[in-house]
């Protein structure tokens, strides 16, 4: 039983993304971290009351989820779909915007980065290719399912499949705007990214400059990470 997709409801969702302050907040949350209302207010360059109003709209609209902890309220993106929409809208914006200033992140940004909680860029796309090409994932209702081969392979890498299965979506596609190809999202995408960061196969790179809207989303691959991912899945993004 799904709802009707009318122009009005689509416009309502798009309008939530169409305010500069809200867009700044969402872009900050797109880095994968949970942030307090105060931090988001500072990032968006507005006062606390305005930020509170924006965050109320975003949570009402189902784009942001809140988590109370003491006197702080931590905000994060609510779902895969929100991350996917931000990623795709970013691609549209880049395609549409005339080339004004040079793109300051260049190759490093396209090589590997976080898309909310999963891996993107050339690395994310190569990972998707490796997982499906080696038969670790098979088509399933609503995305992908892991095969017995995949279960063994991912287990050997130490990926927490149990945690991945607890997510609303186990594995589905997400558009990578810099590569124009799909990368892996869902619980499995998150579990793989978590494992890579946990084992220091990947590490977060510092922002290119202060106030960087892309935050700490850029990732660097360590020599060990390159070895492990190439050995297990044929993922090669160096050259």
Told to check if 73 binds DNA by CB under 7 A, we report yes
State whether the Cα torsion 119-206-195-156 is positive or negative. Answer: positive
CB of 21 to DNA, least distance (A): 4
Residue 9's binding partner, choosing from DNA, a second copy, none, with beta-carbon cut-off 5 to 8 A by kind? a second copy
Residues 70, 192: Cα–Cα separation, whole Å: 31
Residues 235, 229: Cα–Cα separation, whole Å: 5
Closest by CA position to 198, among listed 158, 152, 155: 158
DSSP helix/strand/coil, 168: coil
| Contact (CB, 8 A) for 47 and 32 | no
Told to check if 47 binds a second copy by CB under 8 A, we report no
* DSSP bridge pairs for 97: none
Piece of 3-11, 112-120, 189-197, 198-206 that binds a second copy (CB under 8 A)? 3-11
| Residue placing its CB nearer to DNA in the complex, 34 or 222 | 34
Told to check if 173 binds a second copy by CB under 8 A, we report yes
CB of 158 to a second copy, least distance (A): 26
Piece of 42-50, 76-84, 138-146, 174-182 that binds DNA (CB under 7 A)? 42-50
Residue 47's binding partner, choosing from a second copy, DNA, none, with beta-carbon cut-off 5 to 8 A by kind? DNA
Closest by CA position to 110, among listed 26, 221, 184: 221
| Contact (CB, 8 A) for 45 and 24 | yes
| Residue placing its CB nearer to DNA in the complex, 73 or 183 | 73
Residue 114's binding partner, choosing from DNA, a second copy, none, with beta-carbon cut-off 5 to 8 A by kind? none
State whether the Cα torsion 7-78-193-34 is positive or negative. Answer: positive
Told to check if 209 binds a second copy by CB under 8 A, we report no
Residue 164's binding partner, choosing from DNA, a second copy, none, with beta-carbon cut-off 5 to 8 A by kind? none
Told to check if 119 binds a second copy by CB under 8 A, we report no
């Amino acid at each position: 039983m799904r709802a009707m997709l009318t122009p009005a409801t689509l416009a309502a969702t798009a309008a939530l993304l169409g305010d500069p302050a809200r867009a700044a907040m969402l872009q900050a949350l797109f880095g994968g971290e949970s942030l307090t209302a105060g931090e988001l207010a500072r990032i968006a360059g507005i006062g606390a009351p305005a930020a509170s109003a924006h965050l109320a709209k975003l949570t009402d609209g189902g784009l942001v989820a809140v988590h109370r902890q003491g006197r702080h309220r931590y905000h994060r993106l609510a779902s895969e779909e929100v991350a996917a929409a931000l990623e795709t809208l970013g691609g549209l914006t880049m395609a549409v915007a005339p080339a004004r200033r040079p793109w300051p992140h260049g190759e490093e940004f396209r090589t590997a980065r976080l898309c909310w909680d999963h891996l993107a860029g050339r690395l994310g796309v190569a990972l998707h290719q490796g997982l499906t090409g080696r038969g670790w994932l098979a088509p399933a209702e609503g995305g992908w399912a892991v095969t017995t081969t995949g279960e063994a392979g991912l287990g050997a890498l130490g990926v927490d499949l149990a945690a991945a299965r607890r997510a609303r979506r186990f594995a589905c596609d997400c558009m990578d705007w810099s590569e124009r190809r799909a990368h892996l999202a869902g619980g499995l995408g998150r579990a793989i990214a978590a494992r890579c960061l946990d084992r220091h196969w990947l590490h977060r790179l510092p922002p290119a400059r202060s106030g960087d809207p892309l935050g700490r989303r850029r990732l660097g691959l360590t020599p060990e990470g390159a070895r492990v991912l190439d050995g297990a899945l044929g993922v090669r993004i160096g050259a």
